[in-house]
Amino acid sequence: MLIPIAYLFYLVGVILLITAGMTLLDRTHPRRYTSALFWGLYAVVFLVGEKLPPEWVGGLAIVMALLAGFGGVGAGQHVQRSLGELAASAKRLGNKLFIPALAIPVIAMAGTLAAPALKIGGQAVIDPKNATLVSLGLGCIVGLVLACGLTRESPVQGLRESRRLTEALGWALVLPQMLGMLGLVFSDAGVGKAVAFIATHYINMDVRFVAVAVYAVGMALFTIIMGNGFAAFPVMTGGVGVPVLINVFHANPAVVAAIGMLSGYCGTLMTPMAANFNIVPAALLELPDRAVIRAQIPTALPLLVANVFLLYFLMWQ
């Protein structure tokens, strides 16, 4: 293949490495050494993580957790444009500002759908197993080029803004990966088997609707506890999805996985554990995070109920 998923990881690693370098050179940064170390270690995971022994990567994750836990990750002082300059720029560009943002999902969707047919000399252009992620990365690159062209700024300014947003999110930026790793740890530790034992011994899983409800609601509850659907997915899918829905009721694995993840996202809307979704954005917008979660619950609960019925009626599609 011409564009494997590894290229996207390398690109993310390079951007994080540049962020670490900018932070280290920022003498006004209150925690420049520890913050630079944090982002530098994160960059190493993307750049050479697959070549390192798993124990080393685990050690890097522990060091990063210690740096964040002891307050070693902070944000520097970034020069912002005045409100007048921002208003003038917005007036000049108008709705054209949406072009770079909209280009990202358009290219991501187009690349995903066209990936099987995109071949040169019989060789796939985009990694077919990771077509969505690779297409998303290509969309981001195109979006950056369009943004630079519209705003007449250089890519260096894009890197500065990338650093500003990265530091604004802080350690929460790493949460999805960390929680995904936690889900794999739980799976390897046998939590999925424990869930399967409890579900089959104390709940009548012979009734298809009950099994579907346990899986979908369980995905939401585990997501609320863990803070991320990726962490809940291996537990509930290994405990209920595969042994009950797929092996017993012969459900379509793709449907089970898709609606199961969507059920997990319902839990994401209802938990402060999902800091990168519910706490950090609220802080950036100066909103109370609990109010944000309360506002999302009326959407999450009906959507979860809808997912139960969708999975019940579509599980064989």
Closest C-alpha to 161, from 243, 276, 78, 85: 78
Check whether residue 251 and residue 148 sit in a common domain. Answer: no
Check whether residue 90 and residue 207 sit in a common domain. Answer: no
* C-alpha torsion 263→264→266→272, nearest 10: 170
Check whether residue 185 and residue 304 sit in a common domain. Answer: yes
Check whether residue 55 and residue 104 sit in a common domain. Answer: no
For residue 89, give its domain range. Answer: 83-153
Q: Is 304 exposed, middle or buried (0-12, 13-18, 19+ CB in 10 A)?
A: buried
Higher-pLDDT residue of 200, 131: 131
Domain-located, residue 158:
no
Check whether residue 279 and residue 199 sit in a common domain. Answer: yes
Q: What is the mean pLDDT of residues 138-147?
A: 90
Check whether residue 200 and residue 277 sit in a common domain. Answer: yes
Q: What is the mean pLDDT of residues 280-295?
A: 73
Number of domains in the chain: 3
Residue 83: its pLDDT value, please?
74
Q: List, for residues 205-247, the tens digit of each pLDDT value.
A: 888 999 999 999 999 998 888 777 777 888 888 888 888 899 9
Domain-located, residue 165:
no
Closest C-alpha to 266, from 226, 233, 307, 234: 307
Domain boundary, last residue among 91, 119, 153: 153
Q: List, for residues 96-121, the tens digit of each pLDDT value.
A: 888 888 999 999 888 888 888 888 77
Pairing of strands 119-120, 123-124: antiparallel
Residue 95, Cβ neighbours under 10 Å: how many?
A: 6
- As a whole number, the mean pLDDT across the chain is 84
Domain-located, residue 169:
no
Q: What is the mean pLDDT of residues 266-289?
A: 75
Which two structure tokens, joined as six digits, stand for 208?
A: 């298809």
Check whether residue 39 and residue 91 sit in a common domain. Answer: no
Check whether residue 17 and residue 146 sit in a common domain. Answer: no
Higher-pLDDT residue of 284, 305: 305
Check whether residue 123 and residue 226 sit in a common domain. Answer: no
Q: Is the pTM of this model over 0.75?
A: no
Phi, psi of 295 (to 5 degrees): -70, -25
Check whether residue 238 and residue 289 sit in a common domain. Answer: yes
Q: List, for residues 15-66, the tens digit of each pLDDT value.
A: 999 999 999 988 888 888 999 999 999 999 999 988 889 889 889 989 998 9
Three-class SS of residue 53?
coil
Q: Which residues pair with 123 in a beta bridge?
A: 120
Higher-pLDDT residue of 164, 93: 164
CB neighbours of 313 closer than 8 A, spacing ≥ 6? Answer: none
Say whether pLDDT at 289 is over 70: no
Closest C-alpha to 311, from 230, 232, 246: 246
Domain-located, residue 74:
no
Say whether pLDDT at 194 is over 80: no
Say whether pLDDT at 286 is over 70: no
Residue 76: its pLDDT value, please?
79
Check whether residue 35 and residue 122 sit in a common domain. Answer: no
Tokens 């500003």 label which residue?
Answer: 164
Q: Report how far apart, in Å, the C-alpha atoms of 217 and of each of 186, 208, 234, 246, 263 are.
A: 18, 14, 15, 17, 7
Cα(274)–Cα(235) distance, integer angstroms: 17
With contact defined as beta carbons under 8 Å apart, do 192 and 234 qualify?
Answer: yes
In angstroms and rounded to an integer, the radius of gyration of the C-alpha atoms of the chain is: 22
Domain-located, residue 144:
yes
Domain boundary, last residue among 13, 43, 69: 69
Residue 309: its pLDDT value, please?
95
